[in-house]
Amino acid sequence: MVVMRQRMTSSEGYLKTLQRFGIKPGLERIRSMMEFAGNPHLTFPSVLVGGTNGKGSTVSFLSAILRSAGLKVGVYTSPHLVTYRERFRINETLIPHERFDDLLGWAKSLAERVATETPHGAPTEFEVLTAMAFRYFADEKVDIAVVEVGLGGRWDATNVLEPLVSVVTVIGLDHTDRLGPDHFTIAQDKLGIARPNRPLVTAEHKIGVLRLFEATCTQLGARLVHVGAGCGLLSSENVLWQLHSASENGTEATFKTWRGKYRVKLSMLGTHQLPNFGCALAAVELLRDEGWDIDDDAILSGAQRATCPGRLQLLKLNGRKVLLDGAHNPSGAATLARSLRTIFRYKRLNLVIGILKDKDAVSIVS
């Protein structure tokens, strides 16, 4: 995906004005928008992907596998790097400018109705964008949508979906001012995307948090699939892997699920991508259990096709290696540091770091 920097359009200017409403937890505004629109979000199957780190990579792996199976795949992610249009993709093609503007006009009128005809107040920027994505996928009749949770889970606008599979990658300390001060509290919020009698996938490894996953799935009658070894849970199915090699040319590993074994080469760099691919693979296997026509070749092809700009992305600039990574919390920074030590070769390393003021800068840098 290549995105060129452009001047801000009037549409993007309008979206910027919505930022004054901030982040307002709750599903009542997005539900009202969907009801006014005839509930387009219920017209296509979906997989909903949450978690502290690894969401974007998991979405990339999963959508690449589904595309390799010949499916028409809608993808909704956030935030964007350059343009809002990056957030809306079908088979990795960005939404056209004109279509984006048309959908924004439609969503703007819905937002005004919610603000004036309901007691819920004005929808936020993210809620407007989410409504646009769901209408876009419905209009284009996607076979399936892979949707990334924006923040948390329970009260995120994406949680109006009824996903076939929910994924919570891992639980880390991020957005503690909104989600809670500890892993357990944050996990409770993110587990809000789990559904009764629908499977849940996770690569979480902290045993105390995993017990919460287990209890939640038991209460919901949901099938729990754990990615990684040594979880200690008796009620979950496992996806395991064996690492063969990892370098700046890619990662090779063999994954084992309840359906079979797959030796894959991952195009995205770093061993931290193993659990992310494992989550995507688990979601695919669960879809196959329900009769979706996704063959083994699609899994192998998707592993190599997947890309995720800004996630340990290796570029060349004037003959020098430049590595771009969006690590923005302590666990993400630790993963980046580990990758720099283990898979890259260099004589001198120059770091350029930008950290938002609401982040734990000391822990990230250390």
Which whole number is the average pLDDT over 337-343?
81
Residue 233 confidence (pLDDT)? 64
Residue pair 153/192 in contact by the 8 Å Cβ criterion = yes
Residue 308 has pLDDT above 90, yes or no: no
Which whole number is the average pLDDT over 91-95?
96
Q: Give the model confidence (pLDDT) of 72-83 as tens digits.
A: 999 999 998 889
Residue 28 has pLDDT above 70, yes or no: yes
Residue 234 has pLDDT above 70, yes or no: no
Q: What is the pTM of this model?
A: 0.89
Measured distance CA(154)–CA(168) in Å, rounded: 12
Residue 210 has pLDDT above 90, yes or no: yes
Which whole number is the average pLDDT over 138-150?
98
Interior CA angle at 86 toward 125 and 307, to 5°?
135
| Lowest mean per-residue pLDDT among 189-198, 252-261, 349-358 | 349-358
| Lowest mean per-residue pLDDT among 55-59, 74-78, 350-354 | 350-354
Q: Which residues contact 145 (CB under 8 A, 6 or more apart)?
A: 44, 45, 46, 47, 73, 74, 75, 76, 137, 161
Residue 311 has pLDDT above 80, yes or no: no
Burial (CB count within 10 angstroms: exposed 0-12, middle 13-18, buried 19+), residue 45: middle
Name the average pLDDT for the chain: 90
Residue 219 has pLDDT above 70, yes or no: yes
Residue 149 confidence (pLDDT)? 97
Q: Which residues contact 8 (CB under 8 A, 6 or more apart)?
A: 16
Measured distance CA(80)–CA(78) in Å, rounded: 5
Interior CA angle at 42 toward 154 and 167, to 5°?
40
Residue 69 has pLDDT above 70, yes or no: yes
Alpha-carbon separation of residue 176 from 54, 66, 187, 358, 360 (angstroms): 18, 34, 11, 10, 10
- pLDDT tier for residue 22 given thresholds of 50, 70 and 90: low
Measured distance CA(4)–CA(7) in Å, rounded: 10
| Lowest mean per-residue pLDDT among 184-193, 222-231, 294-303 | 222-231
Residue 179 has pLDDT above 60, yes or no: yes
Strand (E) or helix (H) holding 144: strand 144-148
3-state secondary structure (DSSP) of residue 15: helix
Residue 2 has pLDDT above 50, yes or no: no
